[in-house]
């Protein structure tokens, strides 16, 4: 979920209800959120901040005791100005007996990860189904960690950056008061894989069944732009690579004009 070797979250700003075009599609907003992501990742990746070492201890306490305390301290002496510290609750010892060990394994979701090894002779489809089952079983736990731990943590860092005027303004929009993290770690993406598989199965069914030969206009029901964006998002690709709606419309209008000119020249 939290990996120093990769960007494990994306950021979006709150969308006002009265806007015609989503703010996230504007080039200046994409650039601003991308720079903000890099700023926060630099704070987390700074060895002096002690973030990744302490977040590991946080997860250990969370699994062992069901709760944990993670402290964010402002320290002007550190580059980035933040120091992270997990406050240990207490030392914990377990007597290893069969029933006790099984209970601990279930509490730590060890039994879920061992499901893959119970049957080594499985087809690729069976492995995929088993992985999806594991992710669904872990969904409540992962959802609570993201909502109750990681979301407040990222927003606290954002508010501290606001407090010390470390953020530039977005042209014409100022500085947003709140941000919304979206997690793109391998575990988070795996939990969304069911949507990708569902779309692939539907499209594959139409291709294999030959319905397109009978009703060629059947694909008119599908919004291909939204389909592409869904795949792009679920695969965890950087949103900064996508062009805005306005840019796409201009490109398509230019293409139509060129096609019309070619037809006129051909006549």
pLDDT category of residue 157 using cuts at 50, 70 and 90 = very high
CA separation for the pair 64, 58 (Å, rounded)? 10
Q: What is the structure's pLDDT at 103? A: 53
CA–CA distance, 212 with 217 (Å, rounded to integer): 7
pLDDT top residue among 100 and 26 = 26
For residue 54, is pLDDT > 70?
Answer: yes
pLDDT attached to residue 78: 58
Q: Is the pLDDT of residue 88 over 80?
A: no
Quote the CA–CA distance of 34 and 32 in Å, as a whole number.
5
pLDDT at 41: 92
Read off the tokens for 173: 């929009």
CA nearest neighbour of 43 among 31, 55, 29: 55
pLDDT at 17: 57
Q: Which tokens hold the place of 5?
A: 């070797």
What b/e sequence results for 131-165 when a residue is b if at least 16 CB atoms lie within 10 Å of its CB, and e otherwise? eeebbeebeeebeebbeebbbebbeebbebbeeee
pLDDT of residue 91: 44
**Per-residue pLDDT, 16:** 66
* Model pLDDT, residue 92: 46
Most confident listed range (10-14, 94-98, 109-113, 128-132): 10-14
Phi-psi category of residue 236: left, alpha or beta, with phi > 0 → left and psi -120 to 50 → alpha = left
pTM score: 0.65
- Quote the tokens at residue 98: 């069969």
DSSP structural state of residue 97: -
């Amino acid at each position: 979920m939290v990996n120093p070797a990769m960007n494990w979250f994306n950021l979006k700003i709150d969308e006002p209800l009265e806007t015609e075009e989503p703010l996230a599609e504007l080039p200046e907003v994409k650039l601003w959120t991308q720079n903000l992501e890099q700023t926060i990742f630099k704070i987390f990746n700074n060895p002096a901040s002690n973030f990744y070492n302490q977040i590991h201890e946080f997860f250990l306490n969370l699994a062992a005791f069901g709760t944990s305390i993670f402290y964010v301290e402002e320290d002007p002496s550190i580059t980035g100005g933040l120091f992270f510290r997990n406050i240990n609750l207490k030392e914990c010892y377990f007597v290893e007996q069969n029933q006790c060990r099984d209970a601990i394994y279930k509490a730590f979701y060890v039994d879920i990860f061992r499901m893959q090894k119970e049957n080594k002779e499985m087809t690729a489809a069976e492995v995929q189904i088993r992985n999806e089952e594991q992710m669904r079983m872990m969904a409540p736990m992962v959802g609570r960690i993201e909502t109750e731990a990681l979301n407040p943590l990222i927003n606290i860092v954002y508010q501290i950056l606001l407090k010390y005027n470390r953020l530039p303004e977005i042209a014409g929009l100022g500085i947003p008061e709140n941000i919304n993290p979206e997690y793109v770690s391998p575990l988070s993406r795996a939990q969304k894989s069911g949507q990708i598989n569902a779309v692939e199965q539907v499209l594959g069914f139409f291709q294999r069944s030959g319905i397109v030969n009978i009703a060629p206009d059947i694909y008119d029901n599908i919004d291909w732009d939204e389909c592409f964006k869904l795949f792009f998002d679920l695969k965890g690709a950087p949103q900064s690579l996508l062009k805005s709606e306005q840019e796409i419309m201009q490109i398509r209008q230019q293409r139509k004009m060129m096609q019309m000119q070619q037809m006129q020249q051909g006549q």
